[in-house]
Structure 1
Amino acid sequence: MKESIFRKSSIFAALGSIFLIIIFAILLFQDNKRVHTLVLVTGQKEGQYYAFGQALSKVVHNHNHRIKIEVIESNDPQENLELLQGKKAELALVQSDTIVNNSTKAIAFLFPEVFHLMVRQDAGINDISDIEGKRIALMSKGSGSYNMFWRLQEHYQLDVEQIKTIPLPITEAHQALEDGEVDGLFRVVSLENPAVIQLLRNPQIKIIPIDQGAALRLELPALEVMSIPKGSYHGASPTPAEDLPAVGVRAVLITNKKISREVIFEITRILYEARNELVQEFIQAAMIEQWDESPHLGFTFHPGALDYYNKGNPSFIVEYAEAIGLCLSVSMLLISSVWQLRSWFTGKQKNRADLYNLQLLKIIDSIQ
């Protein structure tokens, strides 16, 4: 009776082990075919963040069909951060002056965004202090551009009561300056932005320099001292007519620290290794910053991004973590099955020996 129960238990254990091995193999196969869908929150549809998001989504999918990036619009960087931290998005674009918590990790510092103060020629504005008493169009409230204007106002000690600011959506702000409904427009935007190029084709509109970059960095260390090169917006009749001092920030691609290390590695790899394709979709991608080990104020990098930056390849354990886990599980199951089978055969051999001994004793008794 005991032998029969033990034998059945051993068989069930072996069959169970084989069944689990098959299940693990199926799960691994399904995971290798799984499409990782990530939501990227960007900015207004007319803006450069949304355009970059669309370009990144297209290029990433072209190089890895297992990664799908869904691009959604938003009103401002703070909303982007809230959606990311609220786990309603896996990726987000923010400016480099954004304050983030420890759960938020950087993937890459992208293109520079330069402070642009564009004014009408007849407005009597030749430097930033002249905007007192003028009508200035700003981007929507809460946007990075909107917030940065007030940092400039504080630094230059401009009288708030003397400036008539008019927050507007991007397209409406540009049109208001074009039509003379405002005297100036302030926007933080990348160089050679198509909408800015179009605006500056109007000979009645010019760019005002923003100097004191080094002093501004003392108050806001995330700023970078930059310049707007001569002819950036028009070469034949150079616009601007000379290199203009400027300041700016950088766009940053961020994610949550819990997002798959392998997925973030792939996005980082494609971002840099497929740069030419990305530039064809979004010209400012040519200015994406090369990673270096120097500290990036307020940001730490996702382990998946660091795998690419440090070695160009994920570590063996990271790259083959799932396969290694399967092999270990299968190995343990096989060892368990072999041990059970060995115990069963040993028990069976012992039972046979006992049976032979009993038969031998019976023969001896019959002879006596």
Structure 2
Amino acid sequence: MTSRWLLPVVAIGAMGAIAFAALTWREQQRVYHLVLATGGEGGQYFAFGQAFAQLVAQHHPDIQIEVQATQGSPQNMDWLQAERVQLALVQNDTPALPAARGVAKLFPEMFHFVVAKNAGIESIADLRGKRVALMPEGSGSYALFWPLSQHYGLTPNDFQAKSYSPTAAHEALLQGEADALFRVIGLGNGTVAALLQSDRVRLLPIDQVEALRLSLPYVEATQIPKGSYDGGLPIPATDLEVVAVNALLVAHANVDDDVVRRLTQTLHEFRNELIQLYPAAVMIEPVEELPNLGLPLHNGAQAYYGQDQPYFLVEYAEPIGLLISVSLLIASGVWQFRLWLIGRQKNRADMYNLEILDLINRVQETHTLADLKVIRQQLFKILQEVVVDLDIDRISPESFQSFTFPWEVAINTIRHQEVLLSQSQSCPPSTEDNPDA
């Protein structure tokens, strides 16, 4: 490389190194601000969101999660699609919108059907003519009640349904302003436990899960174990057959992949710490393979779940080995061709050099200017041929450089010989050689 190019190249390299270092430093100092849509402030989602945000802050200080109270899953999904939030908690029955990507399955949420003891209600089918307290419109509980009641042959005109906040719904049931209450929530919720302490209400089972799955394919059969809400009485008195949906953590597709990978890692690898902050997290099951969440996985979550899968190099060892072998074979062929080409170029340059040496010998034996002119013409013809060969890569630039030295020696030898011949032919004969002088 010539000196005039060296300084610019060094300068560009230094600028690139500085830019790379600056970008690396900036990335290390970056703080990610995320908003997590949960649910009502007295609900499971909000409590989980606060615990999860605290845990993430402890292990990843560069990820700050703001917990946002909402009306529930449908609103959360809408806000995620609109990028008003970057993370959301939703029930798995919530219709997924295009921007939503799955991160993790959290805990099951049981259908809680609580009725007044004096209301004469033994199942959902007995709600005809009754007053039903529902969760806020827009919540997952509210949305699930209608297909559930339809399965039992009821229409909205068969009963009186009214939406309340969770606290107000519990109070309405206790005060006799409602005959039944329907709520979907994780097991062990404190407000539900307080409600069930009253001797005015009781918790009823919800069965027919296989039939329900015909219209609600996302529900699962589960149990509320005996004594879940009070081990002394106990409440419930026996294992209670109910159905459930799963709570999911979802993220917008645009959230940084590494951030989502670390969120997923925190959720699973620091689960014991999360349980201390939020006991219901004990129901988050360990994941041994890529989970099926009913919507596409986020790339970051997939990177975490797939880390125990065979490495790419191991899984594709045979085709990679074949590719490497073929590449080496091609590279070897290209190298051999290059060596052959370099040798061929050198041989051609050597041929020209030998021709020039032969011309130099002829110059020294030449005694007429006419013969020197012929040799000069041959020398320039060789130069012309060499330049053409250089242009079409029949000789290399290095060979051309080695050619120029003997060529210059030859042209200087011709000039010198011309001078000598010209002087000898222009000098007059001496008097000693002229007998008539």
Which interval holds the TM-score relative to the shorter structure? 0.7 to 0.9
Deviation, structure 1 residue 22:
0.6
Contact 2:102 2:293 in 1 (8 A): no
> Could you tell me how far apart the structure 2 residues matched to 1:314 and 1:103 are?
29
Partner residue of 2:227? 231
Contact 2:75 2:139 in 1 (8 A): no
In the alignment, structure 1 residue 175 sits paired with structure 2 residue 171:
yes
> Which whole-Å deviations, capped at 9, do the CAs of 1:193-244 have from their partners, x for residues lacking one?
1110111111211101111011101211111111111111111111111111
The match for 1:205 among 201, 213, 231 is 201
> Could you tell me how far apart the structure 1 residues matched to 2:18 and 2:309 are?
30
Partner residue of 1:246? 242
Structure 1 pair 22/297, CA: closer, same or farther in 2 (3 Å)? closer
Structure 1 counterpart SS, 2:18: helix
The match for 2:131 among 126, 130, 135 is 135
Unpaired runs of at least 5, structure 2 = 314-400, 421-437
> What letter matches 2:183 in structure 1?
R
Partner residue of 1:156? 152
Say which is worse superposed, 306-315 or 171-180, in terms of deviation: 306-315
In the alignment, structure 1 residue 74 sits paired with structure 2 residue 42:
no
> Could you tell me how far apart the structure 1 residues matched to 2:70 and 2:253 are?
22
- Structure having greater relative contact order (Cα 8 Å, sep ≥ 6): 1
Contact 2:56 2:63 in 1 (8 A): yes
> What letter matches 1:262 in structure 2?
D
Partner residue of 1:3? none
Partner residue of 1:89? 85
> Which whole-Å deviations, capped at 9, do the CAs of 1:56-99 have from their partners, x for residues lacking one?
10001101111111111111312211111112211111101122
Contact 1:99 1:298 in 2 (8 A): no
Deviation, structure 1 residue 14:
2.1
Contact 1:93 1:252 in 2 (8 A): yes
Structure 1 pair 39/294, CA: closer, same or farther in 2 (3 Å)? closer
Structure 1 pair 187/233, CA: closer, same or farther in 2 (3 Å)? same
In the alignment, structure 1 residue 310 sits paired with structure 2 residue 306:
yes
> Could you tell me how far apart the structure 1 residues matched to 2:144 and 2:290 are?
25
Deviation, structure 1 residue 136:
0.9
> Could you tell me how far apart the structure 2 residues matched to 1:295 and 1:170 are?
32
Contact 1:307 1:315 in 2 (8 A): no
Q: Report the TM-score, using the length of structure 1 for normalisation.
A: 0.81
> Could you tell me how far apart the structure 2 residues matched to 1:228 and 1:71 are?
29
In the alignment, structure 1 residue 98 sits paired with structure 2 residue 133:
no
Contact 2:289 2:305 in 1 (8 A): no
Deviation, structure 1 residue 257:
2.3
> Could you tell me how far apart the structure 2 residues matched to 1:315 and 1:258 are?
26
Partner residue of 1:37? 33
> Could you tell me how far apart the structure 1 residues matched to 2:74 and 2:184 are?
16
Partner residue of 1:328? none
Structure 1 counterpart SS, 2:282: helix
Deviation, structure 1 residue 103:
3.2
Partner residue of 1:278? 274
Task: Please identify the structure whose Cα radius of gyration is greater.
Answer: 2
> Could you tell me how far apart the structure 2 residues matched to 1:312 and 1:199 are?
45
Runs of 4+ displaced beyond 4 Å: 6-10, 292-295, 312-317
Structure 1 pair 293/312, CA: closer, same or farther in 2 (3 Å)? closer
> Could you tell me how far apart the structure 2 residues matched to 1:295 and 1:30 are?
34
Deviation, structure 1 residue 117:
0.7
> Which whole-Å deviations, capped at 9, do the CAs of 1:30-77 have from their partners, x for residues lacking one?
201211111111111111111111111000110111111111111131
In the alignment, structure 1 residue 217 sits paired with structure 2 residue 206:
no
Aligned residues: 324
RMSD: 2.8
